[in-house]
Structure 1
């Protein structure tokens, strides 16, 4: 490439214009990556802000408001709740453009549907907080390195990931497009823990350390389950692609199961029986009965 003569201002402007024209023309190919309807896409920053404010609502004593000032705790939380209701309705209405159920709906219908779903979601917040409280208790009971529950709320990535997942799961059950996954991917980016919002998770889940954990969409996890870092609860194969949509592809983990670091449990028909212990780095594609102890044998 010849770099001589590139300091001429007119030539520089002309070259930049050619580059811009080249890229703009590339948008005319009709591909999925070419669409430019930005106003029909949920705003990632807005969804992130909703998540952060919902965490304030769930844990009201563990964050300081930078904007709202009130010495009355009820008023302080009420302002945050109203703010989230308004912005969640707005984002859900936009997300409905990605739902076949609302393909030809008017703006009034979209707004009405978003309002109803938002209100229904907020009615579920006491239940979400009930489940989150059990997760917090499981983390405290299961980790001798935890000196207080406040320490867990403020610093443990596992609790953060499960809390956001419980928020997203309720929206998933309400058939909100896109937003639940955006929420859990925000948690994924913060913690390294990837839990699909469709996963069904019982009370008292403890995620210890957490980095690298993957829990798939159709997973079913019982109560009092403990999962260490690097665990995959995933599909046996995804070669079928979209033809597998709606099929149970991920395992069922029954109550009181412990899964140690690096274990992979795969397949929609795989059931890990109650009270089982799955050792580190185990690779499991078949069901195991209740009370099993699975471990990798050292080669000699």
Structure 2
């Protein structure tokens, strides 16, 4: 097969006119700079906000394919919300310090906890998602997913003082609702009962009420599933129905140990 023929065939199969991976790279650059602007003491806020606006304009040019959509107006609304987002994130960091006996300082949480990083990028992405600008927030949370193993859809609604311990393998779906002072551990899934495209506009993921703790590898599924406040969901539990407030749910596998007698 001639070289030109291969090129022609590849070009014919490149069917997505708006698929530019430069957008993904720019979103990652924007996300990093945004995180540093909010948290790093040596990063000047005023100077970086100017840089962020320029970067955001570049992202908009790549991501806004419909010229009739006022994507550029989003930045002004978004930047006004940054102080409030930072306030929420400080509460999340404090919740981690208060929950985890292994944490030595709040600075450690900001710099070394993958769960906190994933929450931070989620909160920064969620506000853009709420503005009706969906692709960029999705790229932001997927960037955090790749770095931390925590997959939070930017459409999820998460309240104050949220704590994710360890983090790896956590999945939180688009329509999940998590209220205040919730703690979850590695491997937890807040997912849908089943996947079908016609369910796109429906609530597919569970609601977690205040002061709930969900331990490692628990799976909670379904848009009508509600975990009542002050409940504890044990590790490896599988739930597809609601749980009343003040409940403890646990999974009890049968474990057998057979010890051979000493053989000389």
Report the Cα distance in structure 2 between the residues aligned to 1:244 and 1:38, rounded to whole angstroms: 26
CA contact (8 A) 1:153 1:159 kept: yes
CA contact (8 A) 1:279 1:294 kept: yes
Report the Cα distance in structure 1 between the residues aligned to 2:200 and 2:4, rounded to whole angstroms: 40
Per-residue CA deviations over 1:31-74 (Å, capped at 9, x if unaligned) read xx5335556x761111111111111122032xx56xxxxxxxxx
**Corresponding position: 1:81 with 2:49:** yes
**Corresponding position: 1:57 with 2:37:** yes
Scaled by the length of structure 1, the TM-score of the pair is 0.81
Larger radius of gyration: 1
Equivalent residues in 2 for 1:1-150, closer than 5 Å? 18-19=2-3, 21-29=5-13, 33-37=14-18, 43-61=23-41, 76-97=44-65, 102=66, 105=67, 113-150=70-107
In the alignment, structure 1 segments of 5+ residues that lack a partner are 1-14, 66-75
CA contact (8 A) 2:38 2:45 kept: no
Per-residue CA deviations over 1:62-101 (Å, capped at 9, x if unaligned) read xx56xxxxxxxxxx2211111101211221243221xxxx
Alignment-derived partner of residue 222 in structure 2 = 267
Report the Cα distance in structure 2 between the residues aligned to 1:288 and 1:159, rounded to whole angstroms: 27
- Structure 1 runs (4+) deviating above 6 angstroms are none
**Size of the alignment, in residue pairs?**
255
Alignment-derived partner of residue 258 in structure 2 = none
Report the Cα distance in structure 1 between the residues aligned to 2:32 and 2:190, rounded to whole angstroms: 27
CA contact (8 A) 1:27 1:35 kept: no
Report the Cα distance in structure 1 between the residues aligned to 2:4 and 2:133, rounded to whole angstroms: 37
Following superposition, the deviation at residue 28 of structure 1 comes to: 1.9
Report the Cα distance in structure 1 between the residues aligned to 2:7 and 2:188, rounded to whole angstroms: 42
**Corresponding position: 1:178 with 2:119:** no
Residue 204 of structure 2, aligned match among 236, 249, 259: 249
**RMSD after superposition:** 1.7
Following superposition, the deviation at residue 115 of structure 1 comes to: 2.6
**Corresponding position: 1:216 with 2:173:** yes
CA contact (8 A) 1:213 1:231 kept: yes
CA contact (8 A) 1:89 1:114 kept: no
Equivalent residues in 2 for 1:195-206, closer than 5 Å? 195-206=152-163
Equivalent residues in 2 for 1:155-166, closer than 5 Å? 155-166=112-123
Report the Cα distance in structure 2 between the residues aligned to 1:216 and 1:230, rounded to whole angstroms: 13
**Corresponding position: 1:151 with 2:132:** no
Residue 193 of structure 1, aligned match among 150, 161, 176: 150
